Amino acid sequence: MNELIRKLVECWGPCGYEHQVRRLIREEVSDLADEIWVDGLGNLICRVGSEGPRVLIAAHMDEIGIMALYKEEVSGYLRFTNLGGLFQSTLIGNRVQFEDGTIGVVNAQERNGKSIRQHPPTHLDDFYVDVSGAEQEFTPGQPAVFWREMATRGEFVIAKALDDRIGCVIAIETMRNLAQNSPNQCFFAFTVQEEVGLRGARTAGFAIEPDIAIALDVTDTGDTPGGAKMPMKLGAGTAIKLYDPGLIVPRSVSNWMLQTAAERGIRHQREVLPGGTTDAAAIQVAHAGVPSGVISVPTRHLHTTSETVHLGDVRASIDLLTALLAAPAVLQD
């Protein structure tokens, strides 16, 4: 599994430009599904099973990044806008990678004689990317991702784009476990453009018309010094969402997940997230409504190049999703 994680997190795929990730995932799942197709927006959808309740499982392929706006008159410098949610406090000195492999370095201009190290800018207008000496000619509209190689520290994985390539890993490994044998019609949707508005999940939900939906994503933690007062922590198991600002999980869905985890002895924790949401928020309002839940992986340092997860939580998430889909997905009121 570690090698699959490495391949996915180090793959290039900013919002709206997920084609390299889609190609990689398609190669991984080509023998694991009964049917595979790409929809008009770019979602990769894999069907496993042909009878029973229709269950949509969504994990997004995109990662946050930037897009070049224009070149400064001084050669080698680009202004940019964001693709997804950036934290300006993390930008200075960060590396970005364009699709051809060119590496740029983010920095910021001084304002009113203030040192950028002592007074980091708060507006993207103050930042630029240094691409001095690059062979390619840059034009407005070229996207890039923040670049860093994956590292491990015992059971901890540190990488860019764990949000949400780790959800894609959970989906792929669950497909392996099912071995094309499920009493449900499982639609694994590897979605696009989640970080800019849950766009791929919205179209997938309308096209598939599921009876139940499960999003696979990351969640924040409360286990760092002086961190937010949240119950989620690394190494305590998969997180079963109960609430975020975009989704109040129906009791029938959360009970289904919690009871399955308890019966199978799967380590789990309850997730209540005060900020952020997932693909499930878009899917739940498709057509007449879809009961939707989320399996989350607790993650530190979100939206940085050093997002960190615990492999025990990833394995617990795979075990839970496999158990949910290996039995008929029938909700109890």
**Tokens linked to 234:** 């690394």
Q: Are 324 and 245 in contact (CB under 8 A)?
A: no
Which DSSP string do the residues of 172-206 spell out, in sequence order?
HHHHHHHTT--SSEEEEEEES--TTTSHHHHHHHH
- Angle at which helices 2-9 and 162-178 cross, to 10°: 140
Could you confirm whether 194 is annotated as catalytic? yes
Which DSSP string do the residues of 68-132 spell out, in sequence order?
EEEE-SSTTEEEEEEES---GGGTTT-EEEETTS-EEEEEE--BTTB-TTTS--SSGGGEEEE-T
**Tokens linked to 209:** 């018309």
Using CA of residue 205, residue 210, residue 213, residue 216, what is the dihedral sign?
negative
Q: How many CB atoms lie within 10 A of CB 100?
A: 10
Q: What is the amino acid identity at position 29?
A: V
3-state secondary structure of 227: coil
Given the structure tokens 């739940």, which residue do they identify? 284
Q: Which of 18, 194, 195, 307 is catalytic?
A: 194
Query: What residues are labeled active site?
Result: 194
